[in-house]
Each structure stands twice: as structure tokens, then as C-alpha cells.
Amino acid sequence: MSRMTDTWILAAQCPSILGTVDVVTRFLKEQHCYITELNSFDDRLGERFFIRAEFRPELDAFNEQSFQEGFERRAAEFGMTFELTPPAKRTGAVILVSKADHCLNDLLYRYRTGQLPLDIKAIISNHPDLESLASWHDLPYYHLPITPETKAEQESQVLDIIEDTGAELVILARYMQVLSPRMCELLDGRAINIHHSLLPGFKGAKPYHQAYEKGVKLVGATAHYINNDLDEGPIIAQGVEPVDHAHYPEDLVAKGRDIECLTLARAIGYHLERRVFLYNGRTVVFGN
């Protein structure tokens, strides 16, 4: 279900021990909070427990700081870490793009209509092509060209913008640059990338044309957190659509663009609603 505008989110994880569900639900009851959605998962291989509760305070006197302090005392017994997210929180974000505009255009529409609770601080690109799109939405656009010789300098500029704007999330909306190990480390857990997913995998130029030549029957996309392994970070969401011999290369490209937009938006939504937990290089995702 989509998050209600008046609900808070409590997302927590801890070792797998007795009483983990009870410590969350009992505390919420004691605080006169009504649970509207509850998800939990126990990873028996990793011996790790994950829980997410959406709730609505029943008393007008609800105090965020008091709630945090009270639950922190309870959670300590379980070695539980948690995050409390208030209603209608808008997460500051910076979007990185190159020349392709489909993902950016889709995100800006969802941002403009309120489908994604983002506060877009800036759009950064290594090309000038999409500046008019940013200007139409009255958003700052930074054109930062990059070459092999200027890569380190350009990435430092990108990081400066992220830091100066206070952005909590970085979205790579078809940003066609490989990030350095340093960049990946600094953005760990807060940068989401999207790319095509074809079976078998086709790398290099014109992957959809390669796929057409092989007669692929599925076209898809993967959204994931970035890491130092190219396009192999922890997966948040994937999308797939069947195709057949009647789909020419341009049809595969068009279908791939649609899936990329939907999959990226879904992954961002999961992240914003605290439905994604990172642990040991993997994700636990309480999708809706």
C-alpha cells in the first residue's frame, strides 16, 4: 500500500532473538499509536531480523523526541538500530543525468505531482542537453563536463554540490559515467542507479540491437544501490516485460525506456518509504 500522509514510519533491525516483534508493537501500543501497516522478516541464514511499522498516533500530545528516547531504551536490550520518519517528509535529492531524458522526465513529473516525496536540490550532468528541462521546473542545473583527465576534479565538484545542498539521496537517472571507488564509498547506501537488464547480458554499445540479433524474449531493468562493482550493487527493484520476434531494435529500446522509468521510480519510492534494509551487501525490501 502507498503511505498515508498522516502516518509515521519506524524501521528497525537487530540480531534474531526472542521478542523482537513484541518490543516494537508493545511500545507502539503503550504510546497510543495505531499500526496501519506492519512488515517483518527474519533472515535465518544471516540471523538478522528486520521490521517496518507504519503507525498513526492516537493522541495529540505525541512527541517525536520523547518517542525516540523511549524506544531507544527499549531497543538497546535487543541491539536494535532504528529510524523514525515523520509524515510527509520530503527527502532532499540530487539527480545525475547524461543525455537520455526519459528517466529524468518521468521523475520530474512524479516530483511535480507529488507522487514521490522528493525535494530536488539540483540536477547535474556531464552534458548541457537537458538544461531546458531543469529550467522549466525551476531547478538548478550544473553542467560539469568530464574527461579521463578531469574525472577526479569533476567528481569533487559533484560531491561539493551534494554536500552544499544537504541532499540525502543521489539518483543516477541514466548517468553514463562509471563512478570512482572513492565516489562509491562516499555515496554508499544513498545513491540509486538504473540500467537495462537483458538475458543473456549484453554489454557495450547498442545492447538492445545486440539483443534483437539474438532474439531475446525478455526485456527488463534493474535499480540498485551503487557500489564499486559496475551495475552489480544491492538490488532494490527489477522490472521485466516479454517481447518476441515482432519487436525490432527500436521497439526494444522504447520498451526498455518504459521499464527503466517504472523500475527506477519504484525503487526510489521504496527507499523514501524506508522499505529497504541494507545488510551484508544485500537488501531486504518490503515492497507494496
Q: Please give the positions annotated as active site.
A: 231
**Residue 148 DSSP code:** T
Considering Cα of 159, then 269, then 236, then 275, what sign does the dihedral take?
positive
Helices (H) and strands (E) in the chain, counts: 8, 13
Closest Cα to residue 268, out of 172, 180, 181, 179?
Answer: 172
Contacts (Cβ under 8 Å, ≥6 apart) of 116? 107, 110, 265, 268, 269, 272
Closest Cα to residue 83, out of 36, 51, 39?
Answer: 51
**Backbone angle region of 229, left / alpha / beta, with phi > 0 → left and psi within -120 to 50 → alpha:** beta
